[in-house]
Chains A and B, each alone.
Chain A
Amino acid sequence: MSNASALTKPKWSKRKRKEALWAYLFIAPTLLGLFVFYMMPALASFGLSFTNWNGITPPQFIGLDNIVRLFQSGSFIRTLINTFVFTVVSVPMAVILATGIAVLLNQKIKGMVVYRTIYFLPMVTMPVAVGMVWKWLYNTDYGLLNYLLGLLHLPQPAWLFNPNIALLSVIAVYVWMTVGNNIILILAGLQGISQTYYEAAQIDGASKFKQLIKITIPLLTPTLFFVFITGMISSLQVFDLIFIMIGDSHVLLEPLRTLVYGVYESGFEYSQMGYASAQAFLLFLAILTVTIAQFAFQKKWVHYDG
């Protein structure tokens, strides 16, 4: 049988083994970097989450005290809720908006490259710069946004100060910042859909809208799945934007404190490395759970072409 060799352990020729060795050599720098800068700190952080450590004197083992303390603290629960709301609102918004724009950008009209570039620009801008600029735009008394609203005689809200809308204000900026990346990915997905489906649909007399619902969206689901997963992972870790926009004001932080902000604050501002590690570890578990759930759920809605 031709596949008998696949059942037994393959015997590699000397040449093949040498090739494999070279392959390992080529990935070695990345692998080592990954190990030294990601795996080792992650493992260390896991170990530290069971300790009380101020970063200077030796850590003391305190078992699960950090975790217990976390769930007893009202501010951690608040943090969890904030992060959850942030993700649940921002990711679908960014994906839906991106899909709409990508469909519009997936046409043959003049100057399309310019439009695509414009939509992608926020993505290649540093989050720090984005945060700074939006902080000024949002300024209640001197900001551009409220100036324009004032010209139109509309109410001028305190975007970052009203606890009811502060989170939404930051979500808007986050969506604005990430939508460009989603557009590029979805655009690539759209262009991967074979024209033959549309031709067939046209012959059958399907409207443009029907085509979108019955062909484009289903065939786009693998891309959407990818965009959703990566989007969720990064929005669960949101930090830089919030740090820049309201970071130095403790009073404004309450409605906006996210999980990673909590990690930063405990670890680097209050020097409670063990407590911070425990939060980081819980965040890791949360992201892992969400991602596994999404993979389990994907059978229900993701269609792979062919």
Chain B
Amino acid sequence: MGKTLHIVLLIVISAVILAGCGTNTGSDDNTLEVALWDEKISGAVDASIEEFNKEHPDVEVKVTYTPYANYFTKLRTSLGGGSGPDVFWMNGPNFYEYATFGLIKDLEPFIEKDSEFSKDVYFDSVIDLYSHEGHLYAAPYFSDIVGLFYNKRLFDEAGLDYPDETWTWDDIKEKGELLTNKEAGIYGYSASVVSNQAGYYNLIPQAGGYMINEEKTKSGFDSPETREALHFVKDLIDEGIAPTVQTQIESNPRDLFMSGLIAIHPEISVNAEMFYSELGDDLGVAPLPAGKEEATITHGIGWAMNGDTEKEELAWELIKHLSGEKGNQFIAETGFSIPAQEDMSDLWVESIPGLDLQVFIDAQEVAYPYPLSQNTIQWQDIEQAEIQGAFLGYKSIDEALDNVAKEMNLILDTEQID
């Protein structure tokens, strides 16, 4: 009796310990785990996986969508623990850290062996975004760029012509004022401070400034141009043409626009489809209005491979299906965003016939790269807290911008030492 009891005890102990220490990688040879954040693209992803399964019928591909707010926190924690998905989405701000820490695999060896994959067919901007020391670490999936969405119904009611390529900042102010209807709670323009990518990141180069210099050694947040851009935003908010930052934080401008409470709203191309399904033919899109210069922020998403995956051949096959010609075609047809393969642009433009998506393709001419350095996330947190704090009235805009530049320069200095 005593002996069996000991054996039972040992089994319980080892079972619990094994369960506690086990990791997810290699849990099952025939499963590939995929992670990304935007569920709006699920149609295209599923279609590519179906294609992949035609060649690999025995492989099960599990897709997990995690909301963007927690996506990278979760991803990094699981990768740091030696597990995590095999194939996953990567964005610009996080790329440098993942590539340098070896959390994602250098794709160059796979590309060399593989005649089917060529870097030349993709937009240079996305290839550059995911290259580190000349090596590609994430396969370009789609490109996104900012355009000026507007609500035609609100323009008609105000008796105004729709925005076009001749618009400048002055038009935003002028027409925005006419479109604003305080009693009905309608704002003329969104002047987004909560989203830097769709908001003030575009205004800064339009004013002739920059967020970060080309050598990535100096912050441009304290330059006169940046001040001009943010004072433009502040004027619009102060005059009631745009919602206050408090309203923006509590009720995202994107949601207000979809509810017909904002007439003009700059937004990333990936939301075109969602806006169209919400607003239908009331939705229009135009190029961003010019300041001193024309500029529109561009960014893109790539597929990266877990640096520790044991199934690298399969993972590469899947990445190829997702970012290859067929995969791009699926993105184009679902209308999600500009496919990373340049030739697929026309197909995407046709995906929403009621909307002039050509605007986004033409905008590539004045594309301005999303600002990045090694520790983008760190200075972006400071940037957002300072700038939003200023708009909430905790401090002046100029003081906030000085703080951002100071802190950001300190971070950039440490990057030079590494």
Contacts and interface: CB of A to CB of B under 8 A. Distances in A.
Contacts of B76: 55, 268, 271
Given A29-B16, A32-B16, A56-B80, A251 B388 contact: yes
Interface in B82-102: 101-102
Given A56-B103, A249-B388, A161 B13 contact: no
Interface residues of B, number: 34
B13 A32 contact: yes
B246 to A, nearest CB: 5
B13 A28 contact: yes
A242 to B, nearest CB: 14
A158 B69 contact: no
Nearest to A247: B69
A156 to B, nearest CB: 12
A252 interface: yes
Interface string A238-271: 0000000001111111000000000000001111
A32 B12 contact: yes
Nearest to B5: A21
B109 interface: no
Contact of B9 (A28, A161, A247, A248): A28
B388 A140 contact: no
Interface residues of B, dominant DSSP = helix
A268 B77 contact: yes
A25 B9 contact: yes
B385 A36 contact: no
B277 interface: no
Contacts of B17: 32, 36
Contacts of A237: none
B20 interface: yes
A297 interface: no
Interface residues of A, number: 34
Nearest to B97: A271
Interface string B240-261: 0000001101110000000000
A36 B16 contact: yes
Contacts of B114: none
Contact of B250 (A22, A36, A139, A163): A139
Given A56-B101, A140-B250, A251-B385, A25 B13 contact: no
B381 interface: yes
Contacts of B118: none
B208 interface: no
Contact of A250 (B80, B81, B102, B381): B381
B223 to A, nearest CB: 22
A29 B384 contact: no
B88 to A, nearest CB: 16
Nearest to A57: B101
B12, B16, B250: most-surrounded residue (chain A CB, <10 A): B250
A226 to B, nearest CB: 31
Given A248-B69, A250-B381, A270-B378, A141 B13 contact: no
Nearest to B98: A56
Contacts of A252: 249
Contacts of B416: none
Interface in A33-56: 33, 36-37, 54-56
Q: Which of B79, B80, B381, B394 is most buried by chain A, counting CB atoms within 10 A of its CB? A: B80
21 contacts: A24-B9, A25-B8, A32-B12, A32-B16, A55-B80, A56-B79, A56-B80, A56-B102, A140-B247, A140-B250, A141-B247, A141-B251, A161-B246, A163-B394, A248-B69, A249-B249, A250-B384, A251-B385, A251-B389, A251-B392, A268-B73
Closest 6 CB pairs of A and B: A55-B80, A251-B388, A250-B385, A36-B20, A32-B16, A251-B389
Interface of A: 18, 21-22, 24-25, 28-29, 32-33, 36-37, 54-57, 139-142, 158, 160-161, 163, 247-253, 268-271
